[in-house]
């Protein structure tokens, strides 16, 4: 069985990736499974840059095959914010709750038709010698006017899918995994991984 190290300590992210990779005979481990790992400063200007940095840094440190993923929310009315700052939008001690509260405040009074947004995900593959490649995926939605649902993490309780009239916070994981930005990127990642393993 192929082992893949996910360069993250985000439990929600690990859970989603494990679920998506379960049919693929891939054993997933993450930074949560290791005691000492270098700290990764996410200072890239794009999701691609951050994903690549995570993958390369951890692959060089461990000598393992590593996936680096970076994702976030882009709100059109806010000029694409929070973007790469999604996880720390409300400041140094940001939490999902504080980030969501800030987003709601900034969109206060903005009508639903102007609250268009998308989740983006970039996933990088690296081994001890190189960055193999980076793939991307996205999912279009609208920012709801209030917190809805307790599923998922991040901005999921605010990310409304118009076709379902429910947020990712309300939809079960099984439905989210058919359409999310991370699921779309992961489908491309699996093609990349398969090609890489065939050439090795």
pLDDT at residue 14 in the model: 92
Q: What is the distance between the terminal CA atoms of the chain, rounded to a whole angstrom?
A: 15
- Which listed residue (33, 70, 96, 133) is catalytic? 70
Q: In what order do the strands lie in the sheet with 26-30?
A: 26-30, 2-6, 66-75, 116-126, 131-143, 159-161, 166-167
- pLDDT tens digit sequence for 56-105: 999 999 999 999 999 999 999 999 999 999 999 999 899 999 999 999 99
pTM of the model: 0.93
Residue 70 sits in a domain whose CATH number is: 3.90.950.10
Percent of the chain topping pLDDT 90: 85
Domain hosting residue 98, numbered range: 2-199
Tally of CB atoms within 10 A around 57? 19
Per-residue pLDDT tens for 151-167?
Answer: 999 999 999 999 999 99
Cα–Cα distance measured from residue 13 to residue 30, given in angstroms and rounded to the nearest whole number? 10
The SS3 assignment for 98 reads helix
Distance between CA atoms of residues 100 and 61, nearest Å: 34
Residues 95-147: tens digit of each pLDDT: 999 999 999 999 999 999 999 999 999 999 999 999 999 999 999 999 999 99
C-alpha span between 5 and 30 (Å, rounded): 5
Q: Look at the chain and report how many structural domains it folds into.
A: 1
Phi then psi dihedrals of residue 161, to 5 deg: -95, 105
Check the CA dihedral 168-46-61-91 and report its sign.
Answer: negative
In this predicted model, what pLDDT tens digit does every residue of 15-33 receive, in sequence order? 999 888 888 888 999 999 9
Rounded Cα–Cα distance for residues 168 and 25 (Å): 27
CB 5 within 8 A of CB 67: yes
Does 43 qualify as catalytic in the annotation? no
- Between 180 and 198, the more confident residue is 180
Per-residue b or e along 177-197, where b marks 16 or more CB atoms closer than 10 Å to that residue's CB: eebbbbbbbbebbbebbeeee
């Amino acid at each position: 069985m192929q082992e893949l190290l996910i360069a993250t300590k985000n439990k929600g992210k690990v859970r989603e990736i494990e679920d998506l990779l379960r049919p693929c005979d891939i054993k997933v481990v993450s930074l949560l499974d290791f005691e000492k790992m270098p700290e990764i400063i996410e200072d890239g200007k794009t999701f691609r840059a951050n994903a690549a940095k995570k993958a390369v840094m951890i692959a060089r440190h461990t000598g393992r095959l590593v996936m680096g993923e970076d994702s976030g929310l882009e709100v059109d009315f806010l000029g694409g914010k929070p973007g790469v700052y999604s996880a720390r939008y409300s400041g140094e001690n940001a939490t999902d709750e504080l980030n969501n509260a800030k987003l709601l405040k900034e969109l206060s009074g903005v009508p639903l038709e102007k609250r268009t947004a998308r989740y983006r995900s970039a996933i990088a593959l690296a081994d001890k010698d190189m960055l193999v490649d980076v793939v991307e995926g996205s999912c279009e939605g609208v920012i709801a006017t209030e917190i809805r649902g307790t599923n998922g993490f991040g901005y999921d309780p605010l990310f409304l899918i118009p076709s379902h009239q429910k947020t990712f916070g309300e939809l079960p994981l099984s439905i989210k995994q058919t359409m999310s930005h991370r699921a779309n990127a992961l489908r491309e990642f699996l093609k990349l991984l398969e090609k890489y393993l065939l050439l090795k």
